[in-house]
Homo-oligomer: A and B are copies of this chain.
């Protein structure tokens, strides 16, 4: 079409390229989860690019907003990352002006995390954008199936019961 020999383009990611045999992959829940996650991740990031918000940053903001005075160690535990990772994450959110490190009265080693004024205002808008994006991404499912899906995903997230 146009004159662009450069650019790897990508497109959205086609879960089923025509003419390709997928064999056992199509029967694996693990593969299905991976495909769904890849697709949803990129749509999320695009939709939230305006705020430079990734799924992890959004999760962190919500958790901080609902759990007053959360420490960095606890945030790391909740998100499933190591403490040094939460420092990087928190540094980014602080630089964006969304959260602050607040001194903890009883413990001079720790900081409690809290949303800034701007963080509170923007999180409301960001949450609305996330809900809009979620609605679009799950538009092919009615409320009942959506609920079933959430239940089953929750079961998959539990460690194996061996």
Which residues of A are in contact with B by a Cβ distance under 8 Å?
8, 10, 12-15, 17, 20-41, 43-44, 55, 59, 62-63, 65-67, 74, 77-78, 80, 82-83, 127, 130-131, 133-134, 136-141, 145-146, 148-150, 152-162
**This protein's copies in its complex:** 2
CB of B158 within 8 A of CB of A39, answer yes
Write out the residue numbers on chain B whose beta carbons fall within 8 Å of the beta carbon of A155.
Answer: 140-141
> Is A82's CB under 8 angstroms from B43's CB?
no
Residue of B nearest to A15 (CB): B157
B140 touches A158 (CB 8 A): yes
B32 near A150 with CB under 8 A, answer yes
Task: State the Cβ distance, A2 to closest chain B Cβ, in Å.
Answer: 20
Q: How far is the CB of A84 from chain B (nearest CB, A)?
A: 8
B29 touches A156 (CB 8 A): no
Complex partner residue of A39 from B21, B35, B59, B159, CB under 8 angstroms: B159
Most buried by B among A10, A30, A32, A154: A30
Query: Distance in Å from the Cβ of A53 to the closest Cβ of chain B?
Result: 13
Partner among B24, B80, B82 whose Cβ is within 8 Å of the Cβ of A127: B24
